[in-house]
Amino acid sequence: MPKAVVTDGYSIDRHIPLYLRDAFYKSPYPEYTYVTTNGYGPYDFSTQGLVLYLPLWALKGSAFKSVDDYKHTCSVQGALWTTNGRSFDNIDEKITIPDAPSLQISGDMSFIAWVNQTGVRSAGYERTILTKRDAGGINYVSQLSATTNYMSWSDGVAGFTGTQALTTATWYHIATTVSDGTLNGVIHYIDLAAEVTAGTPTVTVDDAPLDIGTMYLDDRYGWYGLIGEIWLYNRVLSLAELTINRNATAWRY
């Protein structure tokens, strides 16, 4: 069976290490892939501008590398592996990736994830999915808002919050695209439904590590539930590309 090829000519297949091929393709042989019943290849998403891909449902152990050009080293604190991804307890669990030039995004960007909340945090504390922040500043932060459970993104200068709440015990394909310096340039997507936010984002580089499931030095803002997959791009993905991403990966959730 031929390998998956996406519209930009590159497939994530070339980054899948041998020890993960059985988990990804149900076969240890590099020439084998498979297509799900909806007709999409399971990894037919764009790799153009992809700086981080974490299929947490496949990545076991207390340390692993991301499945992308950069092979970022990821260290796990507590977040338990499950067949659907990593489980976070909203107390002290996280995955940390050291700073790298590829993660220091200073312009347009896109963030995608599959998430499922086990429970809702106490009012007043956001639920952090991903953050690149330290004492020196903020590069980017993706959260659910404290009181409304809406999607929220911050560049350290301003916050950009949507209007649709995520419920518990439900898998969502969420995404945020950021057109740096553009009025109304932050758009949230919940299962491909777009929410355009007001304001102009200003993405500023910071050399902080990247944390998943927690906020810098404050575990009260931790994620409570499962995170199945994460993608981070240094460009704005179109709705058509987000649709391909969701359709190609939804079968896992």
Rounded average pLDDT over 200-207 = 89
Rounded average pLDDT over 189-201 = 96
- In angstroms, how far is CA 108 from the centroid of its own chain? 16
Whether pLDDT at 218 is above 50: yes
In a domain, 107, yes or no: yes
Rounded average pLDDT over 214-238 = 89
In a domain, 4, yes or no: no
Q: How confident is the model at residue 1 (pLDDT cuts 50, 70, 90)?
A: very low
- Judge contact between 68 and 234, C-beta under 8 A: no
In a domain, 11, yes or no: no
Q: Give the range among 21-35, 92-106, 159-173, 185-199 with minimum mean pLDDT.
A: 21-35
In a domain, 28, yes or no: no
Whether pLDDT at 194 is above 50: yes
In a domain, 238, yes or no: yes
How far is it, in rounded angstroms, from Cα 145 to Cα 125? 8
Q: What is the pLDDT of residue 206?
A: 85
The per-residue pLDDT for range 45-70, each reduced to its tens digit, is 889 999 999 999 999 999 999 999 99
In a domain, 25, yes or no: no
Q: How many CB atoms lie within 10 A of CB 41?
A: 21
How far is it, in rounded angstroms, from Cα 238 to Cα 46? 11
Segments forming the whole domain that contains residue 224: 42-252
CATH number of the domain to which 64 belongs: 2.60.120.200
Q: How confident is the model at residue 71 (pLDDT cuts 50, 70, 90)?
A: very high
Q: How many CB atoms lie within 10 A of CB 61?
A: 8
Mean pLDDT of all residues belonging to the chain: 86
Q: How confident is the model at residue 37 (pLDDT cuts 50, 70, 90)?
A: very low
Q: How many domains does the chain have?
A: 1
Share of the chain above pLDDT 90, in %: 58
How far is it, in rounded angstroms, from Cα 70 to Cα 46? 16
The per-residue pLDDT for range 140-182, each reduced to its tens digit, is 889 888 778 899 999 888 899 999 999 999 999 999 999 999 9
Q: What is the pLDDT of residue 2?
A: 40
In a domain, 205, yes or no: yes
More confident residue, 23 or 190: 190
In a domain, 208, yes or no: yes
State both tokens at 20.
Answer: 């993960």
